[in-house]
Amino acid sequence: MRKMNDFLATVPFDLYELSLFHLVVKHRSFTKAAEVAGLTQSAITRQIQGMETGLGMDLLERTTRSVRVTQAGEFLFHESTKLLGDVDQSLRRLKADFGGARKEIRIGVSRSIGLAYLPGFFHANLRRHLKVGYVVSYQASSEILCALEANELDLGVLCPPARLPRTLAITHRFTDAFTLISPVGLAGEFQALPRSRASRRPWLARQSWLLLEAGTNTGSALRRWMNRLGLKVEPAMQLDSFDLIITLVALGLGISFVPMRALALFGQKKSLTRLPWPDRFERELVVLTRKHRKQPQHFTEFVENILF
């Protein structure tokens, strides 16, 4: 017991102070972090200064306009992210299992996933498990991966990178096929061309292209595939959502390759059409979760009911 008391007496900060430090790092602002925490700026500043004094090192560098995280601060932030996520997860399960709180599942959906896919995730569960709530966020795939590792999300739906973190597991895989779409007014021009790639490539190159952002997993893979086919184009617009791309094509702003399944929400739109192209781009979509020894029952049942 004496050893434990000695340890507690020398701990440089507690979980509350660590959480405040995370807020400052995330917002890069003492003022914003104080607003989120419900504190004054001076109060949160004192808490962080106490951490730095206890550690004997600077975690943050302050200027009149911004906050910069030191290398030591970056290390502490990344190393402790999972810890805070695990504590939050344990408290949520404690309240749900023993305190009567409503059970929840936190789901991150990549912005490259069309809204037409979501009924497959929620329809059966909304009918069968009325007492379970869902917190759904629309994020970039990279943000979802980080949030899963930090235990800030329970499930992620995305196009995976070449290498997944070892802490994550795939529960579902789905092959997603794409098609070429254009405004109806361009279909006649395309159809009038000889039915060969060589004849149609110049026409495609002259069009205004709307493509998913190059920095996304799907966007980079689609560009590599187009380049292999000789479709080297400079997009007029780069976007982060296929639903938005399809809408803009229907408004006559360009052409694009989009997931066929995403067109389900646009079935009544007579302002866009699918153009016949002999080659098909496909991507893989997955459902990811963290590797746990044992999942709560409501989570396991949700995963089993996914129709991907």
Query: pLDDT digits over 120-178, tens only?
Result: 888 888 888 878 889 999 999 999 998 898 888 999 999 999 888 888 999 999 999 99
Residue 227 has pLDDT above 90, yes or no: yes
Q: What is the pLDDT of residue 8?
A: 47
Query: pLDDT digits over 247-292, tens only?
Result: 999 999 999 999 999 998 876 667 899 999 999 999 999 999 988 7
Distances in Å between the alpha carbon of 1 and those of 8, 10, 12, 13, 37? Answer: 11, 14, 19, 20, 34
Q: What is the pLDDT of residue 155?
A: 93
Instruction: Give the fold, CATH level 3, of 2-77.
Output: Arc Repressor Mutant, subunit A (1.10.10)
Same-fold call for 81-168+285-304 versus 176-284 = yes
Q: What is the pLDDT of residue 7?
A: 47
CATH 3.40.50.620 fits 176-284, yes or no: no
Q: Can you say how many angstroms the Cα of residue 270 is from the centroid of all Cα atoms in its chain? A: 32
Q: What is the pLDDT of residue 251?
A: 93
- Section 209-235 average pLDDT: 94
Domain at 81-168+285-304: CATH code = 3.40.190.10
Please state, as a whole number, how many other Cβ atoms lie within 10 Å of the Cβ of residue 230.
11
Q: How many whole angstroms separate alpha carbon 89 and alpha carbon 99?
A: 14
Q: What is the pLDDT of residue 261?
A: 92
Select the more confidently predicted residue: 62 or 159: 159
Q: How many whole angstroms separate alpha carbon 166 and alpha carbon 170?
A: 11
* Domain boundary assignment for the chain: 2-77, 81-168+285-304, 176-284
Give the closest residue to 149 by CA, choosing from 102, 223, 85, 106.
Answer: 85
* Average per-residue pLDDT for the chain: 87
Q: What is the pLDDT of residue 135?
A: 92
